[in-house]
Structures are given as structure tokens and as C-alpha cells.
Chains A and B, each alone.
Chain A
Amino acid sequence: MKLSREQVLHIAELAKLGLTEEETERFTEQLSAILDYAEMLNRLDTSAIPPTAQAISQRNVTRPDEVRGSLPPEEILANAPRREGNYFQVEAILEE
């Protein structure tokens, strides 16, 4: 599966991953090689096989809807790169 440069740039944008020109070229090649290898899965007929998301799983794990303790704001904000009061500070999300 040969990826195009446009596809690689599109994927990078979906993942919000900035790439250098060099990375874009290198990843185009490497990802294509890995996806080529993955083509071998098409040798298998899986039309009647259900997918497995978790091989060993629990089902519908619930707990009573009670308020329980959480972390105090100071602790949660302690690692914030930029903060203002009890808020994480970021650039504007909504433009004018």
C-alpha cells in the first residue's frame, strides 16, 4: 500500500502532529512498507469472523452513582504549563 504525500500530510493533520519535510518523506516510505506487510491479512477469509476488541473482557462494570472524592484543584493544576487561577490557560479556541 503506497501512501501519497498528501495522505501522509492529511494523517498528520488528523493527529495534530507537525512534521518536518524530512519526516514527511521518511514516514511516507516507512508507513507504506508497514502497510504493505499488513496486506498479508487479506490472505485470510474473515467474512464469518466477529471482531475482538478485548480478548478477555468484563461487561457493563458499574458502580452506584454517588459523589466520591477527587483530587483538589491545586494538585491537578500543579503540572500545568500555563495556568490562570483554577484554569488551564490556552490560546483562543473560538475565533471571532
Chain B
Amino acid sequence: MELYELTIHEAQRLLRAREVSSVEITRAVLRRMEVVDGRVRAYLRTMPDAALGCAEVADCKRAQGDDAPLLGIPLAIKDILCTKGVETTCGSRILKGFIPPFEATAVAKLRAAGMILLGKTNTDEFAMGSSTENSGYFTTHNPWDLSRVPGGSSGGSAAAVAADECLGALGSDTGGSVRQPAAFCGVAGLKPTYGRVSRYGLVAFASSLDQVGPLGKDVTDCALLLGIIAGHDPQDSTTADLPVPDYLAALRPDVAGMRLGVPKEYFVEGMQPEVEQAVHAALDVYRGLGAEIVEVSMPHTEYALPVYYLLAPAEASANLARYDGVRYGYSQPDPRDIWDTYRRTRQDGFGPEVKRRIMLGTYALSAGYYDAYYLKAQKVRTLIKQDFDRAYERCQALIVPTAPTTAFRIGEKSDDPLQMYLSDIFTLSLNLAGVCGISIPCGFADGLPIGLQVLGNAYDEATILRVAYAYEQATDWHLRKPPI
């Protein structure tokens, strides 16, 4: 096994046993990046010299007895999270050259735990997209088939983890943006409960839906990263003042006697047959492990899409008003007046999907339309949340597919926004309901990974990690590597 193929927990063990140094691991990963990133294009920017410097420091610290959980572990961070002193563009031209003077809490926590920053990964612009094709810079390619998308918006992070270009990564999930690329790239990706992880320094897309989430080569790594980034943050008043459980201790491969719900509305026409088969096969694995599979109904599932595509753009239209060429980022160099600065900065700086969503959101919030669209969507959001509440009365976790298909080809859906939005039908409700979910690999179709979600109740990440872990340990999908 190559050092770049290690998981975080394996690297931790080897580092602690002094069998390998952080410099050796980091050098191996950097070399791997050199070999494959020209084709995968997971990274928007990398800092190899700084990373090696940090690795040397980490090895010194370890020699002096430091044993922080991520000491010397090289990770990647989605470019939607502010990294102090390191350019952060959110995949947009409007923030080209922006150097944050502060750091996102989630990133700061990883750094305090000793992580080495390899670079910032590609993302759909301002996290708006399901394929990473909306990045203002370039598209990332799926390591399993370079002609296909890695998913989005955390496509860069997912591809980097899948291609062993980092030992783990952070992404963000507003409508599925950690889970769907995790599924397309055959890795594990978790969306925490809303308020579990601080959004301070996470550049805001939709403030009531956004969450920072870990992507890892296996469930254990997700649990490890979650344990470090989770927690109350006085700088984000939407974080919960609740203790963080020991997620690693929760990883027992034991689901005997557990009730796992399967909502019938998640098996729709138009789903790729292999995806449906893989999920049904996974249910058999769970039965074999002693779990009871219970059919539940979540009747408002199909409404998640229109609800999301009214609420998220509405929130985005407010959050993106700040990009006006005044305090940071691109500014139209030759404006006639202040309004011209705003209009032309935003016209030049934003890509089409971002503009589309700003327009949609502005319309939904505007006088005369607010009740019919925004308020209506918020009411249906209540119904969607109630579906989850009712389901969790009958089971401890839900098992559903992550995406209706495997990774589609680059360019295949980029002309039809609505088609692109449909790839999120199985992930959107979770953000609307605010509860947690993890995607893990559950099979392949024509060499492309298929993802399965385990969805849990609020702040019950320990349960979904355990249920996901049990399946993972009974199968070997997580050990497969892309042929790159």
C-alpha cells in the first residue's frame, strides 16, 4: 500500500507507532497530486512548500510528545471555507484574489488538532450546483471516469479523497453538496445536523440550510473529523450548545434489533435500475446483520425540490448582495457611478447559475410574490420536517439512495438547469429538515460508484455513523480505488 492510500485513522496509528513520519506521508500525497491532479483537477490551489514545512514541524512536535489527533495529517479544504492568509474564491471570479483575514472555525479546529493544509478544492460557484461544472475556474473530473462529473458542489473535495490526493477533506452541504459528490466518487460524506458545526467562516449560500461536513475514505475518518469540527461556537449563534459525543466510540458494527426505515417515496421512476438494486441489496445486508427494515411514508418528499429551489435562492439573493465591488474581490474598473459599480461588478463577476439563483430568489422575496412563493415554501418546509419527525417515531434511521443515477457526463446536464436540480431529489429534504445524514458507497454500475444514505434524527450523528459503519464493515466497497 502506498502512503497516500492511507486513511486518517491508519496514518494516525502509524505516526503514533513512529513507523512513518508526517513528512513521508505528506511528500507521498504531494507526489500523488502531481501525478493525477492534472487530470482530476480537484484543487484550485495547493501549497506544497507550506505543507512540507508544516509536516516537518509536526514531526518535531510529535518527537516532543505532542499527540494531537490530526498531527501531521494532510487534508484538503473546499474553497468555500475561509482560510486565513490563503486565497479563498468560493469557485467564483468575483472573489479572485480575496485573502481572508480570518479563518473558518471548522478549519481552525482542524489546524488546532494538527492538520496540514494541502490546498483548497474546487467547488461550484458559491456552492451552487451539483456537478462542480459551475466553478468559475474549471471543472473537476471524476477519478472513476474522467469524462464524468465528480458531483457537486463539493466535487473537488470528493474527487481529492477518492483519488488519494489528501487523507480527508471538508466540504459544505446545503442541498446535498457533501453527500452527492461523495456518492459519485465512492467515498463517505456526512452532513451534520444544522447547528452541530459552526458556519463561521463558511461563506454563506443559504444560511438556514448550510452545514460544513467531512469527506473521508471511510466512515471512521468521517467520525474522526466530525468529532473535531463539531461544537458550540460563540461566533455562530446558530450552533447548538450541546456536548459533542465521542463519535469514534459510537462505531460498533452492531445493528441487531435496530429499526431502519425505508421511505417508499424515495424509489421513483427514472431512477437508474442499478441504483435501486444496490440499495435493495444493502437492505438485505442490514437484514443479515439483524436489523429490522420498516417501510415508512414521507408523503411530501417530492415537494422538497420546489421548496428548496425557492428558499435556497431567496436566502442566497440576500447573502450574495455583499458582492458589490466595494470591500473585497473583483470590482468593475471603470464605473460611471455607484450603481454601475454594483451592476457591472456583479454582471462580470458572477457565473450564470449564480445569477439565475439570485434572480429566482429576488423574485420569490419581492413585493407581491413573497406570500405565493417564499412563504408558501416555508410552510411546505414545515410539512417536510414533520415527515421526518413522524418517520423517526417508527425507526432510528432511514436508508435511502443518495442520487437517482451514477455520475453523469460532463456537459450532459449543464444546458438544462431543472434537469441538474433533479439530481438532488434524495438529498434536499435533509437540509430542509435540518437533520443529519451520511452517504457511503454501496456498489458500482459500469465501474461508477453508487451511494447510500443513512439519515438520522437531530444530533443523532452517533446512530447514523454506527449504522453506516456496520454496513461498511460487512462489505468492501470502501476499499475500492479508482483506476487512475
Answer whether residue A78 sits at the interface, using C-beta atoms and an 8 A cutoff. Answer: yes
* Residues in A neighbouring B432, C-beta threshold 8 A: 55
Answer whether residue B137 sits at the interface, using C-beta atoms and an 8 A cutoff. Answer: no
B329 touches A79 (CB 8 A): yes
Answer whether residue B328 sits at the interface, using C-beta atoms and an 8 A cutoff. Answer: yes
Q: Give B residues with C-beta under 8 Å from A.
A: 97-99, 101-102, 193-195, 208, 234, 237-241, 300, 302-303, 305-307, 309-310, 317, 321, 324-331, 335-344, 346-347, 350, 352, 355-356, 358-360, 362-363, 366, 373, 375-383, 385, 417-418, 421, 432-435, 458
Answer whether residue A67 sits at the interface, using C-beta atoms and an 8 A cutoff. Answer: no
* Residues in A neighbouring B193, C-beta threshold 8 A: 56
B331 touches A82 (CB 8 A): yes
A55 touches B385 (CB 8 A): yes
Interface centre among A58, A80, A92 (most CB of B within 10 A): A58
Report the nearest B residue to A79, measured CB to CB. Answer: B328
CB contact under 8 A between A81 and B329, given known A44-B303, A54-B434, A92-B337: yes
CB contact under 8 A between A38 and B306, given known A16-B342, A56-B195: yes
* Residues in B neighbouring A79, C-beta threshold 8 A: 97-99, 101, 327-329
CB contact under 8 A between A52 and B356, given known A38-B310, A57-B238, A78-B99: no
CB contact under 8 A between A17 and B359, given known A38-B306, A58-B238: yes
Interface centre among A11, A20, A44, A80 (most CB of B within 10 A): A11
CA distance A23 to B352 in the complex (A): 8
B303 touches A41 (CB 8 A): yes
* Residues in B neighbouring A50, C-beta threshold 8 A: 379, 382
CA distance A58 to B358 in the complex (A): 27
A52 touches B326 (CB 8 A): no
CA distance A65 to B327 in the complex (A): 27
Enumerate 27 A-B pairs (CB-CB under 8 Å) in ascending A order: A11-B363, A16-B324, A17-B347, A17-B359, A27-B355, A27-B356, A30-B417, A40-B303, A41-B307, A44-B300, A51-B379, A51-B381, A52-B382, A54-B238, A55-B435, A56-B193, A56-B195, A58-B237, A58-B239, A63-B234, A71-B102, A79-B97, A79-B329, A81-B331, A90-B341, A91-B340, A92-B338
Answer whether residue A46 sits at the interface, using C-beta atoms and an 8 A cutoff. Answer: yes
Report the nearest A residue to B97, measured CB to CB. Answer: A79
